[in-house]
Structure 1
């Protein structure tokens, strides 16, 4: 699994569903302990992935994601009882932050000067409620400057695939107009990537990168929309020094 640079001394990676030890329907690198997979398999996959990234397995922060806008600063992993929240940030080198996904957007943020990195889980509900702007604001309160920040919007269900009811599209677009979209078939949809990108721009984030892969279309990723019973992949970010 390749790691890439989000800024000087800052690395990130997006783990696909491949390369782990699981079996169907979670094959093979499921990283979530909340989808019905064998807990020992999940533990082994988390450990394997951390080691591949050069991280200590006991130095990775995983959230209990609940589609909220709640953010917290972390200095160590939560342990067995992670609190319910959808964004974390840190200034501790070697502490990996992970956002799990299977159609929602994993969003990574970094300020290389302030030496702060963050990770958010932003699906339809989290995007409408503003979890990514909340993460930008929280990091800024600890010394980050949005203009210096680099963001990565990771793989997610694209606007051409993410079909919703007319009512949900109207509700989402009323809160965030950029969410309004239409599928290839001409039915109502939401463009979560466009919504998050607009939020980052309005928050003043200096650079926004995109991983354009669609989780529904690309079978390298888990997709709840496509498969229902399935695993979760993750995007990771960390300070190297």
Structure 2
């Protein structure tokens, strides 16, 4: 019973982390994706490379650098000192920051692709109707890219749930604070508690299956709408 209670606390913490991370990613990723899709600046390629970089690095490497940034001697320590703490590492706030940076590529890319595929024509038509750029963005670009936002949200949520290396490096395994499901599974395996590990792993497997199914249905639905 105690183990089940601990798992449910971990499930709640994981869902909370993934939900907050997904919302932040959509808020930050939307203008960033729009700029990358529309910008002619030479800096856009450099920014795009930086965004993609976390998906190419091994998660422990990304976690190491985040640990340095969030630790007492990094910017995170300076920020934490504003409310009397020494570090953002091994805190829920640190987990959110790490999860946002880790999942940024999987959220920005589908939205950016949707904006790029859209082309200039819809916005040019809106301009002929005297729509301002911001109004055209809200009423034309965002509705046209709506399916990409759904895909990005599902991918961002799933990526956060599945993350392990970054979570373990910057969050550790503090019950009720940073002990998400992936860290819970790691502890069960390390302690040779195979029965409990199989239940946690099975739940995460079913979640991954559901994510793939949802994305497949979205793609199929979009294919029907485009024909």
Q: Shared topology, TM-score over 0.5?
A: no
Larger radius of gyration: 2
Q: Which has the higher helix share?
A: 2
TM-score, structure 1 normalization = 0.25
With CA pairs under 8 Å and 6+ residues apart, which has the higher RCO, 1 or 2?
2
